[in-house]
């Protein structure tokens, strides 16, 4: 079953930028709460950022505040994560998610992508 699909990951040098995208084949993001999570090698999945579809609320993890920006495009039914000033510590597989509950906990989301890998070199 295909749920969500992430794209935009890759290899970037420290200080560089990437834009991650998330699509929802066969479904709409409308009225959902949307989130980005990441999982580094050997570590548990952690919260990165979340947004309501309407943009009424936005949350960021402390580690990415001021560097990452989460946004939506209603017309394209897309979710984005713009990552600036990337550091080696940002290296991880990034996952997008959607759910009906506004939360920073991964257990609160119902739909997930397979992840897109981001590698930041020093």
Of residues 116, 16, 33, the one with CA closest to residue 79: 33
pLDDT at 102: 84
The 10s digit of each residue's pLDDT in 97-119 is: 999 888 899 999 999 999 999 99
pLDDT at 5: 96
Give bridge partners of residue 121 from the DSSP assignment: 13
pLDDT at 44: 95
Give bridge partners of residue 105 from the DSSP assignment: none
Cα–Cα distance measured from residue 66 to residue 11, given in angstroms and rounded to the nearest whole number: 21
Residues (pLDDT < 50) of the chain are none
Q: Give the 3-state secondary structure of the chain.
A: CCCEEEECCEEEECCCCEEEEEECCCCCCCCCEEEEEEECCCCCCEEEEEEECCCCCEEECCCCCCCEEEEEECCCCEEEEEECCCCHHHCEEEEEEEECCCCCCHHHCCEEECCEEEEEEC
pLDDT at 68: 98
């Amino acid at each position: 079953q295909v749920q969500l699909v992430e794209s935009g990951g890759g290899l970037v040098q420290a200080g560089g930028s990437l834009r991650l995208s998330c699509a929802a084949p066969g479904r709409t993001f409308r009225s959902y709460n949307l989130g980005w999570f990441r999982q580094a090698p050997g570590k548990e999945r952690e919260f990165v950022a979340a947004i309501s579809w309407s943009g009424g609320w936005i949350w960021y993890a402390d580690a990415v505040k001021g560097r990452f920006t989460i946004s939506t495009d209603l017309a394209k039914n897309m979710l984005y994560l713009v990552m600036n000033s990337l550091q080696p510590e940002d290296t991880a597989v990034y996952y997008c998610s959607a759910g009906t509950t506004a939360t920073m906990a991964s257990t609160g989301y119902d739909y997930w992508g397979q992840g897109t890998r981001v590698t930041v070199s020093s």
